[in-house]
Amino acid sequence: MCTCIQKLWRSKTKTLVWRTRLLVLFIVVNSLQVAYAQIPTVQDCLGAIAVCQGIYDQGTAFSGVGNYAQEIDPTLSCLGSGEKNDVWYVITVQSSGNLSFTITPNNYTPGSIPANGDDYDWALFNLTHNVCSDISVIDELEVSCNYSGERGPTGANGRPGGLNEPVVPVLAGETFVLNVSNFSTSQSGYRLSFTASTAVILDNQKPSMIEVLPTTCFDSILTVRFSEFLLCSSVDLSDFQLTGPGGVYHLNSVSAPGCIGGGHHDRDFTFDTDSIFVDGYYELALTGEVKDLCANTSAPGIIGFSIVDSHPPTLVALANSPCLGTTLQLTATSYQSGAYLWSGPNGFSSTKQSPTIANVTTTANGVYQVTATLRNGCVFTDAVTVTINPSPPPVQKNIYHD
């Protein structure tokens, strides 16, 4: 079915211009979802090309959308067509400044009026604290974007005109992914230049371990975050050693979502040990070498971390038996890292471990429930039934007369 589609020119500056295009629209039901284990290509966020140089000359444009469809939701992104004949780049900021880039179609003639060349669109996402799958559900990750109906050079370069957006301030340590989409059907390719950036984005830094993500209770799994994406092929169990209260722990396996099914890179790697963790101090040592996407090799390093409440006791909710007009005392099992939430009759709520209610009446009768959420992810719930007792009769004083 051939349908007349209007391309809405959208950007993060909310410029709106309409251009009419002819687009062959194929509706394919239930065929766009790809299994997570598909091998990512450079046309998928998980397989993004690492920016290791200032200029990328792409002689032939890309076709299709790779193995992971619908990575960009057009209702959240300014890219009204979502992904279209696209490719991904990943940028690791080495020092703070402005990120600037320009995409110039190879078939563009400078000074031509009207401008010629292919119609490229793009979107830039901040993945410093997120993963590729978040792009389609969290619109705040998109920090700049252009979906112009014009032809010619485009980018976040601060130049005038609807094809361009302001440069993007970036901080050292941040990670961004850039999606470049070709609305045209031409295969002429493009040049992508980052040379006008004042931020240093060409990666020459050694990757390192920066964080151990919290373990869950009764767990033998440990997840480590690195300072940047690593090549999956460079990560091996023999590169690591885990020590703790039990001595040296045997590591059974290492994995990462982005490495599943032959994937290219990831920054969060999960280790499976042969022992359930106990409370105490641990150290994970990087004794071998791993490589980032620009082939920078890591230096040896150690990251220390502590585990608490690894084997927490069962939560128990308790209450006293107060009389009318006295104080109801609630209490729950104590945890080193617990956050508590009580609820009960008459809209009662408290975040204390042992809350009280003064001057109680019979309206306080009922069930009081407490939930304890531990730092390691454990969640426990218990409840106690409270009955307010009547006030005892006054004490009779016997008066004796001589």
For the purposes of burial, counting CB atoms within 10 Å of the CB of 107, is it exposed (0-12), middle (13-18) or buried (19 or more)?
middle
SS (H, E, C) 287-343: CCCCEECCCCECCCEEEEEEECCCCCCCCCEEECCCECCCCEEEEECCCCCCEEEEE
Q: Write the DSSP symbol of residue 154.
A: B
Q: Which fold has domain 317-386?
A: Immunoglobulin-like (2.60.40)
CA dihedral 228, 196, 124, 223 (to 10 degrees): 10
User: By the 8 A CB rule, do 45 and 35 touch?
Assistant: no
Top-level class of domain 2-193: mainly beta
User: By the 8 A CB rule, do 135 and 120 touch?
Assistant: no
Q: Indicate whether 23 pLDDT > 60.
A: no
Q: Where are the domains of the chain?
A: 2-193, 209-307, 317-386
Backbone angles phi, psi at 46, to 5 degrees: -65, -20
Q: What is the mean pLDDT of residues 207-222?
A: 81
Report the sign of the C-alpha dihedral through residues 349, 352, 353, 356, in that order: negative
Backbone angles phi, psi at 237, to 5 degrees: -55, -35
What pLDDT is stored for residue 203 in this prediction? 84
Q: What is the pLDDT of residues 226-263, one digit of tens each?
A: 988 899 999 999 999 999 998 999 999 999 988 876 77
Residue closest to 202 by CA, chosen among 299, 318, 294, 328: 294
What pLDDT is stored for residue 398 in this prediction? 62
**Encoded tokens for 11:** 């950007």
Residue closest to 212 by CA, chosen among 123, 264, 258, 273: 273
Topology alike, domains 209-307 and 317-386: yes
What pLDDT is stored for residue 35 in this prediction? 38
| Helix ranges (DSSP H) in 79-148 | none
Please indicate, yes or no, whether the overall pTM of this predicted structure exceeds 0.75.
no
Q: What is the pLDDT of residues 285-326, one digit of tens each?
A: 999 999 998 999 998 999 999 887 777 788 999 999 999 999
Q: Which fold has domain 209-307?
A: Immunoglobulin-like (2.60.40)
What pLDDT is stored for residue 215 in this prediction? 65
